[in-house]
Amino acid sequence: MVDKKKLDCWIISSGLIGCENQCIGVAEELNLKYEIKRVNPSKLLSIIAPFGKPKKNERINTPYPKIIIGAGRKVIPYIKNIKRLSKNRCLTVYLQNPKISSDNFGLVWAPNHDNIKGKNVISTLLSPGRVSKELLDLERIKWKDKFLKLPKPYIAILIGGKSKAFNFSEKDCLNILKKIDQVIDLGWTPLISTSKRTPKRLALDIKNLIKDKPHYFYDNVGENPYYALLALSDVALVTPDSVNMLSETLTAGLPTFIFDLKCKSKRINSFLTNLKREKYIKEFNETIEIYDIKKTNATSVIANYIKTLDHF
């Protein structure tokens, strides 16, 4: 039997942290020794991806590892090229909707709401990521002293930002501020994390709102305690713009409430509708009532499927 700990893996990344963490999560779940290979496609390749052929890259050269994992449109030409040059001896795994035939890869994972079909396609309701019991335990120990003086109970408040699907209009931002204030009035201590997409004005307004109240606020400066917030909190309140954030809070086992923000995407609306129907999430309507959620871990599902393939 092959010792899985000795198998190696490349993660092809264009630098998008959300995509990168999905790949890392799968590699870690497989207990693989991995190396992140960051690519910098030309302007033309960035535009025409998933089509096009990348220029020769000395960092992405033979010998190829047993498994390649990538996510994000811009890495697709590199993954396709490796599949061709390795003559399929290297298992190429693509995470997300590739917008091209799945035959270009060894395996494709896509979320249920993308409705992708193919003989080598698997789908789950949630997205893969790095959340695991081991990681949460480590982060809880690492960061717990930072939170000792804060009164319990804790609520993780995760704030995303503008995207094609969400405007984060002035009305939306006022709604977010109102809901945070209500949560504090209910007796919860907010552990807040913003993202690089969060409107600067909103981040500043949140700071001003909570400055005289017990809280923790991360604004992308210094080391990120993101996973510690998931580990230490009893419940989560999340903006619905990020499939990854919602997947991570649910994988961490947190009852998850969402801000009521207008969504322009049928895909994301489908995702949110499915989560509500399966009773994974609830909209926050002035009260926080802890509820039980079903255990779910998309990363484990993907990793277990990969273990059944001939390459592994």
The enclosing H or E element of 193 equals strand 189-194
DSSP string, 116-140: ---TTEEEESSPP-S--HHHHHHHH
Query: Could you tell me which residues come within 8 angstroms of residue 256 by beta carbon, excluding any fewer than 6 positions away?
Result: 235, 236, 237, 238, 246, 249, 250, 280, 281, 282, 293
32: its two tokens: 């693989």
Query: One fold for both 4-128+299-307 and 133-283?
Result: yes
The Cα–Cα gap between 203 and 64 comes to: 44
The answer to whether domain 4-128+299-307 has CATH 3.40.1350 is no
- pLDDT digit string (tens) for 28-55? 999 999 999 999 999 999 999 999 999 8
Kind of pairing, strands 91-95 and 154-159?
Answer: unpaired
Residue range 133-283 in CATH 3.40.50.850: yes
Of the listed ranges 3-17, 34-48, 100-114, the one predicted with least confidence = 3-17
Nearest CA among 128, 115, 88 for reference residue 104: 88
Tokens of 28: 């870690």
Query: 225-271, pLDDT tens digit by residue?
Result: 999 999 999 999 999 999 999 999 999 999 999 999 999 999 999 99
- Residues 194, 238 contacting (CB under 8 angstroms): no
How high does pLDDT run on average in the chain?
94
Omega before residue 199 within 30° of 0, cis: no
The predicted pLDDT at position 59 comes to: 82
Is pLDDT above 70 for 62? yes
Residue-wise pLDDT tens digits, 281-309: 999 998 999 999 989 999 999 999 999 99
For 107, the enclosing helix (H) or strand (E) is strand 107-111
Give every strand in the sheet of 8-13, ordered side by side: 33-38, 8-13, 67-71, 91-95, 107-111, 121-124
**Structural domain boundaries in the chain:** 4-128+299-307, 133-283
